[in-house]
Amino acid sequence: MARDRIISIGELIVEIMRKRVDSPLDRPDDFVGPFPSGAPAIFIDQVARLGHPAEFIGACGDDDFGQCLLRRFEQDGVAADHVARIEEVATGCAFVTYFSDGSRRFLFHIGNSAAGQLPEPTPEMFADAAWLHICGSTLSAGEQMRQACYEACELAVAADARISFDPNLRPELLGGEEALRRVCAPVLEAASLVLPSADEAELLTGTSGAEAACEALLDGGIELVALKRGSAGCIIFTAAETVAVPAYEVEVVDPTGAGDCFDAGFVVGLSEGRRLEETGRLANACGALGATAKGPMEGCAFRRDAFELAAITEKESER
């Protein structure tokens, strides 16, 4: 049985954003949307656009926003057999506004929406899976979602799938740094790959300095750490080597979801047996292109475009 399917689990939401910069959410003004969103959903859509078997475990409402999400998955080839349609509960959503200093403000409706009612994971879901991707945003969104992620990790590991984890941490939603580490611990224990920002690596380990924190993750049993550095690219850490990969310069339109696109490019690169430097190039290309369109999924790169920016050929990936 081929083992190339990549799965993610978590929140499936739409995003509705202000048209104008510096427009606070507590005042009347125009919005644009809905756009398909949710960190694990952005990840899996990018996986599908890169040409890999992709499947999502989640839930949406039996409403127009849910139809928006399912239509996007169908268009891009994400299998949605395990996306539950919940009647009489609205699809999750987020409202967002951007400010000229680069900051963002979100209002989320997730935990008590359809997005928070994840299907119970079963062994059959992971029978031929290569990877399961978990996001810290999902762990932050409520006990039911957290327990579903823990169960999914156990089942995926039992099926010999590997776990990738993007901390995407929100300590303010979890009661502080110590609570955050407790919540993340079961996923970290199962993970092969962690994809943090500098701040997230330090939060996870309680270690000062991004590179020292990444080394601490390796010392804790993680096989590979991909440190996301935005416009500075990424640094990849393993027990045997450290590889720095520069970023690609693009015109940033909407940074939301770029990190999830990076994650998808990295997991796909590993799935294709690429060298670490090549994997980093693909991930950086996906992250860069992910920021070039308004809407969190709208910049998800198709394979040809990502390969072209990363200077990767199909022949080069044949191993």
Domain-by-domain residue ranges, the chain? 5-307
CB atoms within 10 A of CB 243: 16
Write down the mean pLDDT value for the chain: 91
Chain segment 102-154, per-residue pLDDT in tens: 788 888 888 789 998 999 999 999 998 999 999 999 998 888 999 999 999 99
d(CA 59, CA 77): 17
- Asked whether the predicted pLDDT for residue 316 surpasses 60, the reply is no
pLDDT category of residue 317 using cuts at 50, 70 and 90: very low
Q: pLDDT at position 254, please?
A: 86
Class in CATH terms, 5-307: alpha beta
Q: pLDDT at position 96, please?
A: 87
- Asked whether the predicted pLDDT for residue 1 surpasses 60, the reply is no
- Asked whether the predicted pLDDT for residue 101 surpasses 90, the reply is no
